[in-house]
Amino acid sequence: MTREEFAQFLGKLREINNNGGDIDAFVKEHEHRNVYFYNDGCIKKILASEQNLMLTTDLVNAALGLIGSDRIMNPKLVNPFVPGELGYHDVNPDIGLINDRGKDVPRDRISIEVQHNMEKFYRDRLVLYVARLTSNMVKSGDAYQLENLNVVSFQFFNAFAESANYRHTVQLKNQEQQVYFDKQTVTLIEVEKFLKRAMEYANDTSRLAQWLRAIDTLNREADFSEFANDPVFRLLQNEVKLCRFSLRYLMTVDMSDFDRAVAKHVGAMDKAEEIAKKMRDKGADMSFIVETTGLSEEQIREL
């Protein structure tokens, strides 16, 4: 299902439950459908499961562009999904991994998250998030030896709208673009840019591009035969089936994008966006629109 279709499904599920209807029968009708992969609860259940560690590892290596001996090879889940556990929203990453590379080699720490909306303080939050993950590596009194931190963010908005790239690595550098500290990397993957400019990236055969296409195909429930011979994608195809998700999990997990997805589907527009669009179309100064509505310049341009 697309984001909007999955949101509608969840909304109907809640409605039937609140009215005392047969939610088991409703889910049974849709058990052959695919869930929306990028939903917080879905991606957690799929990629933070011990049984799917092959999936998660392959996606991480693809996102980070790691090949050969640099690949993540011995990962362990920091916050694994526990079957039967209620879903809840907290400060932990959607998926967290650690990877040991051997004696005297800093351990890898990888965090994966999905961000659907460009919030006003998103960059501030991301930097704070990286700082917290870094500070948690060293206990008081220990030597200041940090692990290799990789934060991977799948985003449905552009971090660098003018760039032709959809994958960006952000590190501490000097004015000559020399890397000062290589143990802390933020990888931003602009999913929406990749999908909207599909023709531009048609010749991109990277593993990351394959992953993004495979996920999109499953979300759209389109012909998956192109990916059927790949064992990783065959497993992914199986794991996104709605029948793999318990009714209890669907009813209790924090599907954080639910309300916004429903609003988008029915054509509702947030009041601030509506105001910003009218001001922009009438030629108002961009800085004034930003100050008035609280939206970012990028958000306003994309309305």
Say whether pLDDT at 237 is over 50: yes
Give the best-scoring range by mean pLDDT among 105-119, 131-145, 223-237: 223-237
Tell me which of 262 and 149 has the higher pLDDT: 149
Mean pLDDT for 143-147 is 82
User: What DSSP line would sit under 91-122, residue for residue?
Assistant: SS-SEEEEE---TTSPPEEEEEEEE-S--TTH
**Interval 56-115: pLDDT, tens:** 999 999 999 999 999 999 899 988 876 655 444 444 446 899 999 888 888 999 999 999
Domain ranges in the chain are 3-268, 269-303
Tell me which of 79 and 271 has the higher pLDDT: 79
98 near 80, Cβ under 8 Å?
Answer: no
- The tokens of 214 are what? 């495979």
What's the whole-number average pLDDT of the chain? 87
| Prediction pTM value | 0.82
| Strand duo 167-173 + 108-115: pairing | unpaired
What is residue 40's predicted lDDT score, i.e. its pLDDT? Answer: 87
What is residue 257's predicted lDDT score, i.e. its pLDDT? Answer: 57
Give the best-scoring range by mean pLDDT among 8-17, 227-236, 253-262: 227-236
SS3 179: strand
What is residue 278's predicted lDDT score, i.e. its pLDDT? Answer: 83
Looking up tokens 């939610």 gives: 23
Per-residue confidence band for 276, with pLDDT thresholds at 50, 70 and 90: confident
Per-residue confidence band for 273, with pLDDT thresholds at 50, 70 and 90: confident
Say whether pLDDT at 165 is over 90: yes
Strands (E) in the chain, as ranges, are 75-77, 95-99, 108-115, 148-155, 167-173, 179-190
Per-residue confidence band for 301, with pLDDT thresholds at 50, 70 and 90: confident
Partners of 184 in beta bridges: 149
d(CA 93, CA 112): 6
Per-residue confidence band for 116, with pLDDT thresholds at 50, 70 and 90: confident
If you count them, how many residues does the chain have?
Answer: 303
Tell me which of 226 and 8 has the higher pLDDT: 226
What is residue 220's predicted lDDT score, i.e. its pLDDT? Answer: 97
Say whether pLDDT at 256 is over 70: no
